[in-house]
Structure 1
Amino acid sequence: MRTFGVEEELLIVDPETGMPLALADVMLPGLVPPTQDAGRVVAAQAPVHEDAGFSFELKLEQIETQTLPCLDYPRLLQQVRQSRVRADRAARAHGGRVAALATSPRGSATHTTPTQRYVTMQERFGLTVRNQLTCGFHVHTFVESPEEGVAAMDRIRDKLAVLIALSANSPYWNGAETGFESYRTQAWNRWPGSGPTMIFGSLPVYRRVVTRLVESGVLMDEGMIYFDARLCRHHPTVEVRVADVCLRAEDAALIAVLVRALVESACREWYDGVEPAPVPTLLLRMAAWQASNCGLRGQLLDFGTFTPAPAADVVHAFVDYLAPVLAEQGELELAREGITRVLAEGTGSQLQRRPHRQGGLIAVVDRAVHETLRGADADAGDPGDEAPTLGRVREA
């Protein structure tokens, strides 16, 4: 079994008003002002917490958690829950809470984390940076080599939209109902290096494309290669980046299990000589848009035909495709039960809309704080009232 791990971006909120709070700089030590040596920021990348790392993100209203690599669903779920509790403990000491919301239901001005790189991004990309308060969920799956990683990316690209629908958790944006289940997908794809990719065919082609994109001058550096799936620069993993942060920890762990099985299935196809499905990138954009818009409420584009089909049918077909690997790894029943639960109870987006009907956006955030930490007590113990320092700066 391949090791896997996740990164979660969490929103920091005021528990009374539901507004985003710029607290990351007091929750995390080691922030280097832009007037100092930015190299110190880039160098401080290793997580220091014994169970999981914590780091800054683009905005001071959010914090990123990182799990250690692990082999199974229970351990990953435990780490996700522990990280959420510890981040919430730090936020509470400064008057805030954390919520696994992919966009902020309530609108407010945001504050860019004052590292040199982020300040330069603010100057270069203007309103895109000023408005960019989104929280994603990134799954890292071990690969034996970069060549294997590119082969996997080529063979999973046509199925990633299903993960957008399953993780959809952003129906509100700065005080407005968006009409989308995952509005984060729309906001995120304003970045020039984001979205689905071509079939690369080989590692040299992938490297050449990345080099050309950076040399174009549009992207500041390779860190702005925000592909839906990419080779991780710091670890031997394929990083799948399409999902919203999940409101429920068990949904996050479920999606990670599905991503690992997807990468493993793709690698086996490569070794067996199965070519990637020649789906045009424009069709992948259509599938992602549809998943972002409808989530699991309506129709998705079937990843075989790219024609509309009921969302539940597409999701079940996705698990059927992964079934051989899931069964071999002892995770098929877990995956089927998890999918059945999500279809019955709703995604995070659907769960957000229920309290909104009764109490508005403040109720949405209040419910989200509760759901973010639900089930965590057994794994993380009493969160207490004191705020530890959580980690060091690690820029995306």
Structure 2
Amino acid sequence: MVARDAGSEPRTVGVEEELLLVDGRSGQPVAVVEAVVAAAEAAPGEAASPGLEREVKREQIEVVSPPCRSLDELARSILVGRRRADDAARRIGVRAAALGTSVLPVDSHVTPSPRYAAIGKRFGLTMREQLTCGFHVHVAVSNDAEGVAVLDRIRPWLPVLLALSGNSPFWRGEDTGYVSYRYQAWGRWPSAGAYDLFGSPGEYHRVVASLIASGVVLDPGMVYFDARLSAHYPTVEVRVADACMDAEDALVIAALVRALVETAAREWRGGIAPAPAESAVLRLAMWSASRFGTGGTGLVDPVTGAPRSPRAAVAELLGHAAVALEHAGDRERVERGVARILAEGTGADRQRRVLAGTGSLRAVVMDAVELTNRGSKPSSAPSAA
């Protein structure tokens, strides 16, 4: 890639959605990812993209989009990917649901692989209980220098993305009190979470190498920073969001990430230094976003450490990224989507409303299945629902 300017095309953006595989009647997660992937591959005339991949647990599947230039293109990819996953799941009597954690109690099963077996041996209960579904956004960068400059400058905005995406209030059948308990469960990994300012590609790679040299982290894939350089693509990978129940919410998060990356790169080229957000305060801000989401007044400004309301934080983010959103043609759709999330709540809010109205955790899962696949034009594959 070449250096970008204000007249260039929008950066490409791609996403990875981790979905739960659940029984079509009980809503219980089921360990069937191998059968679902095989059913997708065997479907006549089925395109290979978006891709379906195995994840760390057999109760989940990952949908991987190609790089997209426009939001319309990405929206189609998200819907097609969800349809492909759910169609394949329906063929064996299960469904795909965009939930950050299982609503019902579950004993999950590790996907067979030497790497996962090694992780399980080292990390014990952390690996055994690890069943979380995130939404990872990849945005193109020109090189490692630009990528690390972006990582340094997007740090203060990551809590707002987490707050907007929260979709995991339940853990082992109980309401945790959190909007994103996924972020708390994921934080058990020793390399997960907030990161310090790097300042240069050399320092970034030195830190990664030191984590691996410690003998705790097995390989670069286990460097679970909230945002990182991708090991496989020329992208920055932002990893803070829960899997979003509503595909339009996922699209809004992806567009915001792309705008933040573009804004950060422009600041870097303009000589604007990163905001001096201390990692200790940033961790508090991420915790507050995980706990309260877009409700109440519980967020924390990562730069000042002062409390702030979610609406003020979201408005500040939109203002910060406005030029990049406008340049990509995304501003109107993103502002409309963010306003809807603030008015109606996140996926976590919806899950709690369904439970309050039905008294049934199964109903929460079935509602998530319906919303996950709304608009994805499922085929005539038989359903067990």
- TM-score, with normalisation over the residues of structure 1? 0.90
What is the aligned counterpart of 1:174 among 172, 177, 183? Answer: 172
Partner residue in 1 for 2:380 = 384
CA drift at 1:49: 4.6
Q: Which residue of the partner structure matches residue 28 of structure 1?
A: 37
Question: How many angstroms apart in 1 are the aligned matches of 2:49 and 2:91?
Answer: 21
For 2:305, give the aligned amino acid.
F
Which residue of 1 is the match for residue 373 of structure 2?
373
Query: Are the counterparts in 1 of residues 278 and 303 from structure 2 also a CA contact under 8 Å?
Result: no
For residues 90 and 151 of structure 2, the distance between their equivalents in structure 1, rounded to whole angstroms, comes to 40
Letter matched to residue 364 of structure 2: V
Deviates further, 304-313 or 331-340: 304-313
The equivalent residue for 1:391 is none
Instruction: Evaluate the alpha carbon distance shift between residue 303 and residue 281 of structure 1 in structure 2; reply closer, same or farther with a 3 A threshold.
Output: closer
Q: 2:209 aligns with which of 208, 211, 215?
A: 211
Tell me, what secondary structure is at the counterpart of 1:152?
helix
Amino acid at match of 1:200: F
CA contact (8 A) 2:50 2:65 kept: yes
Tell me, yes or no, if structure 1 residue 222 matches structure 2 residue 220: yes
Q: List per-residue Cα deviations over 1:320-341 (Å, max 9, x = no partner).
A: 1111111122221111111111
- How many equivalent pairs are there? 366
In the alignment, is the contact (CA less than 8 A) between 2:277 and 2:303 conserved in 1?
no
Give per-residue Cα distances to partners, 1:336-374, cap 9 Å, x unaligned. 111111111111000111110122201100100000011
Structure 1 position 5 matched with structure 2 position 1: no
- Give the 3-state SS of the residue equivalent to 1:278 in structure 2: coil
Q: 2:321 aligns to what SS in structure 1?
A: helix
Percent identity over the alignment?
Answer: 49
2:323 partner SS: helix
Note the 1:223-302 alignment, pairs <5 A. 223-299=221-297, 300-302=299-301
User: Does residue 19 in structure 1 map to residue 28 in structure 2?
Assistant: yes
Partner AA of 1:28 in structure 2? V
Q: Cα deviation per residue 1:252-286 (whole Å; 9 max; x = unaligned)?
A: 01100000000000001000111111111011100
- In structure 2, the residue matched to 1:197 is 195
Residue of structure 2 in register with 1:356 after alignment: 355
SS in structure 2 of the partner of residue 194 of structure 1: coil
Contact map agreement 1:90 1:386 (CA 8 A) in 2: no
1:358-396 alpha-carbon deviations (Å, 9 max, x no partner)? 22201100100000011222xxxx422179xxxxxxxxx
| Equivalence for 2:331 | 332
Deviation of 1:51 after TM superposition, in Å, equals: 2.5
Does residue 310 (structure 1) correspond to residue 334 (structure 2)? The answer is: no
Partners of 1:328 and 1:90 in 2: CA distance: 38
Kept in 1, the 8 Å contact 2:276–2:303? The answer is no
For 1:49 and 1:227, the matched residues in 2 are separated by 32
1:162-218 deviation line (CA, Å, top 9, x unaligned): 010000000001101100000000000100111010100000000111001000000
Instruction: Give the one of 158, 162, 171 matched to 2:160.
Output: 162
Task: Give the conservation status (yes or no) of the 8 Å contact 2:227–2:236.
Answer: yes
- Counterpart in the other structure of 1:82: 80
- 1:135 paired with 2:133, answer yes
Aligned-residue RMSD, C-alpha: 1.4
Give the distance between the partners of 1:147 and 1:28, measured in 2 at CA. 37
Which structure 1 residue ranges, 5 or more long, are not aligned? 31-47, 388-396
Look up the SS of the partner of 2:138 in the other structure: strand
Find out whether 1:105 has 2:114 as its counterpart: no
Q: Distance in 1 between matches of 2:138 and 2:346?
A: 22
d(CA) in 1 for partners of 2:48, 2:73: 14
Residues 120 and 128 in structure 2, CA contact (< 8 A), matched pair in contact too: yes
Q: Which of structure 1's runs of 4+ aligned residues deviate more than 6 A?
A: none
Range 105-114 or range 353-362, more displaced: 353-362
Specify whether residues 49 and 218 from structure 1 end up closer, same or farther in structure 2 by C-alpha distance, changes over 3 A only.
farther
Contact 1:136 1:241 in 2 (8 A): yes
2:321 — aligned with what?
Answer: 322
Q: CA deviation at 1:28?
A: 2.0
Secondary structure at 2:92 match in 1: coil
User: How many Å apart are 1:303 and its aligned residue?
Assistant: 4.5
| Counterpart secondary structure, 1:65 | strand
The question of whether the paired residues in 2 share the 8 Å contact of 1:54 and 1:65 is answered with yes
- Secondary structure of 1:184 counterpart: helix
1:317 is displaced (CA, Å) by: 1.2
Deviation readout 1:75-130 (Å, 9 max, x if unpaired): 11111111111101111111110100000000121110011111111111100011
Give yes or no for contact 2:278–2:302 (8 Å, CA) kept in 1.
no
Relative to structure 1, is the Cα distance of residues 213 and 304 closer, same or farther in structure 2, using a 3 angstrom cutoff?
Answer: closer
RCO comparison, higher one (Cα < 8 Å, 6+): 1
